[in-house]
Structures are given as structure tokens and as C-alpha cells.
Amino acid sequence: MSLTLCMLLAACGGEDSGGAETAGSVVIAPGAGAGAVTPAAPPPAPTPAPAPAPAPAPTPSTSPAAATPAPGATPTPSPAPAPSAALENSFYVGNDPNQIGVVERWLARKPDAVQLHIGRAGWSDWRSSSGWMAGLFAGRGVDIRWSVPLIATGATLEQAAAGAYDEHYRDQARTLNRATPAGKKIPVRIGWEFNADWQPWAAIKNPEAYKGAFRKVVDIFRQETDRFEFEWTPNIGDHGMDPALAYPGDGYVDVIGMDFYYNTQWHPKDPEAAWIYMVNEKYGLAWHQQFAAARKKPTAYAEWGVDADTSGPFIKRAKQWFVTHKVQYHSYWDSNADFKGMLSNNQFPRAAQDFKEAFGN
């Protein structure tokens, strides 16, 4: 799959519970207790993007659907299932379906889902890569969560909002609908990490155009089927804009996500201090949970990872956070593509064991 390798990493924050976190507690409050260990905001580092995929076979073209009608005054969101007691474990494994077995042997359990990233090198890549990947992962016994670029490289948010790419969106909706077994939801994460400047769909210069493009995708996808479930996903941290400025509205969002990575090059070497920093930073995990709770939306973490063998305490904090906040799912970056976070290959044996104890059987 073709993706720009320029994503930055930041840290994450948590829900304001009114109590200070100590080394043994679960919920962390901004500015409290150990939160005093707050370094200056770390310089951004590349956020992982999937490695380019082999050239996929073109997706069969389909006839365009009827023109998109103007959306109603108050769109109704797709019904989102309530978070279950069991935490859904998803993984990014690149474009290699054999990695599902590697993860299964490592954790002694099969992943619940994989996170697949649709290509963005151009509209041809954007339209054809999803069908190619769906074929690769078909029959593997795991669900697919799709990360859908809001636009392809070279396109603009303004043109997307104006309807210039409607045909591409219709074609993608048909492809994903046909690739998903009957009766299953189709989770799609649209235009993630928009609140910085490294994505083609960065909203920082024109959040109104971003919102318009996001709504356009949702409107067109819903014309194909009501099985789609839409996730809105900022990157953790302050990258120059308030992510809320690009929120498309409750009627267009089913799940509110966030991406975060523990990068020891920028964050505190002490994993406990790093976790506290990520919870308490501006637009961190606390902000994320508060923003979603105010809108009565479930939350998720579609990308997260660690890059050191000493990350065990951070991994355990993440598990506690996911459970305490009843997140819909989390997706670990089990890859070395642009972020050295793979654990299933035992490059970080202690961290891999800590992850297994937290998330395995």
C-alpha cells in the first residue's frame, strides 16, 4: 500500500477523574501527583505509515451511482454498538496476512481484527488497493478495520468538499461493502491524524474544508449501505490546532479515536513518566476521553506502539486505560515500518512478554 512516510509522533492523555495518579492507580488526572514530571513538549517524530504495497490488481470498475442528494438538515449517525466487556485486540501487520499466525503464536490467541490502510499514491491506488488487500486477508478468521485516506495525494480538501471526487467515494463504498461478509459492520477510519501538517488531508489550514470532505464521504458511503461505522481520529498532542475545530458533527461520527506512540527518542525514558506525560498533555488522552464523553461517543485507539524493551509499565498502563474507559478497540502497531514497534518478532523480549501478559490469554 502507498502511504506518505511523514507522520509525526506525540503522546497521549486521559480522562479527568478528579484524582491524582500514583504508580499503582488506574486513572490519571491532568496536572496531579506524578504528573509533575512534565517535560517540555517533545519535538515531533515521524509517525508510522504502512510500507508501500506491491502494485495491486485494479478493482473492477462499476457504473457511477446517481448524483449525491444534498444531506438532510440533521443527519442521523449509524448505530454504534455499545462497547463490550471483552476488549477487542486489533493489530497492524502490514500487507502480510501470514503475520496473523505469527501474532497468534506469540499471544496464544488469534487477533480479533487487523487494521488495513488503503493506498493514497493517486486515485487509482486509492480505489484499487482495498480490493487487493481484502482478497489477501479473506478467509483468515479475523475482522478488517479500514483506514480510508480522505483524499489521494495531489487532491484537495476543497475539491473533495465540492463534490469533485464523488465517483471515487462511491466506488470505494461498493468495494468495501462487497468485501465484507453479510451481517457484519464495516468500520472505517476516515482521514486520520488531520490535526497536524503531515497528511495530504491536513485540516490545519482549512478545517471547514476538512469537515465538508469528511461529511461528503459519510453521505456517499451511507447511500451504499448502513453497515458503515465511521471513526474520527486526531493524533495526540498539540500540533498547531484544536482538533475540535475539524469535528464534522455528531451526525457524521460513530467512534472518536486517537493515535499515540511511545517514542523513547522524544519522550521520557521512564515509561511511567512517559505515560503520565501523554495523559496530561494538551490534546492528550484526558482531552480525548472528555471530548468523546461530552458527545456520548465510544472511543478507540487505532494506532499505538512502543519502541523499547523497558516499555512494560507503559504497556500495562495502556491496558488499564483501555479497560477503565471501556474503549471499543485498540490496534497495536506490530510492525517496523517507520516506527520500530514490532513485538511479535521478539526484538524486545521483555516488552513482548509484558504485552502478552496484558493482552494475551
Q: What is the pLDDT of residue 26?
A: 32
Is the overall model pTM greater than 0.85, yes or no? no
- Write out pLDDT tens, residues 269-327: 999 999 999 999 999 999 999 999 999 999 999 999 999 999 999 999 999 999 999 99
What's the confidence (pLDDT) of residue 86?
A: 80
The catalytic residue among 21, 224, 229, 303 is: 303
Catalytic residue among 15, 21, 193, 229: 193
193 is catalytic: yes
Domain boundaries, the chain: 7-51+83-359
Query: Tell me, what's the pLDDT at 271?
Result: 98
Average the pLDDT over each of 5-19, 103-117, 231-245, 299-313 and give the range with the smallest value. Answer: 5-19
Gap between the Cα atoms of 187 and 143, Å rounded: 9
pLDDT digits (tens, 9 = 90+) for 150-171: 999 999 999 999 999 999 999 9
Whether residue 357 lies in the annotated active site: no
pLDDT of residue 71 exceeding 80: no
Give 255's pLDDT tier (boundaries 50, 70, 90). Answer: very high
- The reply to whether CATH 3.20.20.80 applies to domain 7-51+83-359 is yes
